[in-house]
Structure 1
Amino acid sequence: MKDPELLYLVGGVVGILLIATLVTKILIGKSGETPTLVNLRQRVNAWWWMMLVFCSSLALGRTGVFGFYALLSFLALREFITLSPTPRGDHRTLTWVFFLILPLHFLFAAAPWYGMFLIWIPVYSFAFIPIRSALAGDTERFLERSARIQWGVMTCIYFLSYLPMLLYLPIPGYEGQNAKLLFFVVLVTQISDVMQYVFGKLFGKTKVAPKVSPSKTREGLLYGGAAATLIGTSLWWATPFTPAVAAGMSAMLVAAGFFGGLVMSAVKRSLGAKDWGRGIPGHGGVLDRLDSLLFAGPLFFHVIAYYFGTNMYDAYKQPQWMYDAMRLWIGH
């Protein structure tokens, strides 16, 4: 938070929220507290709180950021699991997921131990989850239950953890400024959601997938996505990109966010729910606000790593303290 360019970005968002708050008050003063305007006020107020919490995590440094996203992963996975009944045979599996797999993954990420970060969930955890459920002896819908837990772990923990991992990307000439990359991803993706919603309400006619997400329209995606891309391009000065590359990255985030939200809406509808939860007034649950970031985060991370030719394996091998602790644990 000592970076002046990051403070400019924060100030810009605060300015937008001040305008949104003022406009909402004026509209309510003229039209009264209609359901639509009450929902708008709830959304704006929620954005104030989310902005405050997000900036507070940045102010605490890397430890604060990783702790913040670990908490978000816990809350998102809890919403994911809560939406459908969990048989007794899965209870102990979920205990291992919430209290071992999740914290260890973020420990490997924050250490950082990049090799283990990559494989802890897709390899070891994916193998462990069905094994632990099989030991419980409940075979009813076994494949469906195991796959559901694996999908929740993959999206709510693994995919989401790529956002704080942006802080560790070694980019030549951009050292110590990666917090702005994290801000860029979150800002462009969330603004894209807002712009698609607004333009969809104003001009939306053609539904993209009416049974999955009735509010998503081609017009909203086209116009809202273009607006978000322009905003992202205008922020090139806070990134290691040229304006042209910033435009491409922004368009990629728009597309990834849109399809990530669409996929998570399909999962949500298959579970018979409209929202993932009720934790954020006007927005639904934590996962409703994060769904567009789940696909955008890992895609953005790996595209940037490829673009700049970074080698995370060599840069972040197993920390010596972790190596010593593991040798002590196994008795050598």
Structure 2
Amino acid sequence: MKFGITGLSGSGKSTIFEALTQIVLGEKHKTENCMGTIDVPDIRVGILSDMYKPKKTIYAKIEYFLPAVHNQKSEIKKDQNIWTFVRDCDALIHVVRNFAEYGQEPSTPHKDFLQLDQDIILADYITVEKRIERIEADKKRGKKIDKEESDLLPVCHKNLEDGIPLRRIPEIASAQALKGFAFISAKPMLVLFNNNDENAKFPDCQDLMEKEECMIIRGKLEQELSHMSAEEVGDFLSEYDIKEAARERVIKKSYELLGLISFFTVGEDEVRAWTIKKGTSALDAAEVIHSDIKKGFIRAEVLAYDDLMDAKTYNEARKKGTVRLEGKTYCVNDGDIINFRFNV
């Protein structure tokens, strides 16, 4: 899963990127798009690895993408090139400045959020308007029109015209007929208020926090944490009364935002976490591993992680009857340990 990091100039996007990915950017982010792929922290993977002692242990992955600074200007150009690089992201992290430094104007988080959000809305509005014009021209030429797309675009147009991002309209944001447009305002969004080291409070943005998923991050402090040893991190967290580093909290919230869960495959060769959407069937989960497994699917042998921990061993869990066989339509749960039976 890929998250695009956005925000106005001076909001601390690069600081947040470093805090999340532990990648030191230097000056390159000003001219280059930067990507950080990191392991999703999951204590269950480590415990399963200790149990099976595999040759490889593979955690689920998440990607954080930071567009180059010159592509992040607040002005919207008609060609919308500044948004090209985040269109293929699954969701957005909108960094909002909630700190003031010497010589800076006081922060205006609500105003800053609305400024960039309106830019995003305008970019989608232009896309929709152009497509509607094209459809009308095609109708006059007698070309066949996709009715669902033709019906949904005016709804998009009206909401965007009213300043409403498409993520607020679930049936529009998830409509298959509109997927090809990769609307930016339809992407799930996590708002990160970037505070100074001593401030752990939300700004006075109650209206915004009621509409969007919001979190606090002390960017500079978390950036420092990302480059420390585990022992140093423990001391630092205690000093600032932080229960969990923002990196872990943001990843958890990222998963929640996209409705993601993990299932596991285990064995002597490999213990691995796989990422899927909540509600995914066993058949579709099999395809995440390999298309051949889906093609030749017979049964899924399933054991819940908690049941394995209770039984201590897989064989003991089998004796207790907690290992079960499930069919294609079984809805995979978070923490399921699955052995797919298939034949191709």
TM-score by length of 2: 0.28
Higher helix share: 1
TM-score by length of 1: 0.29
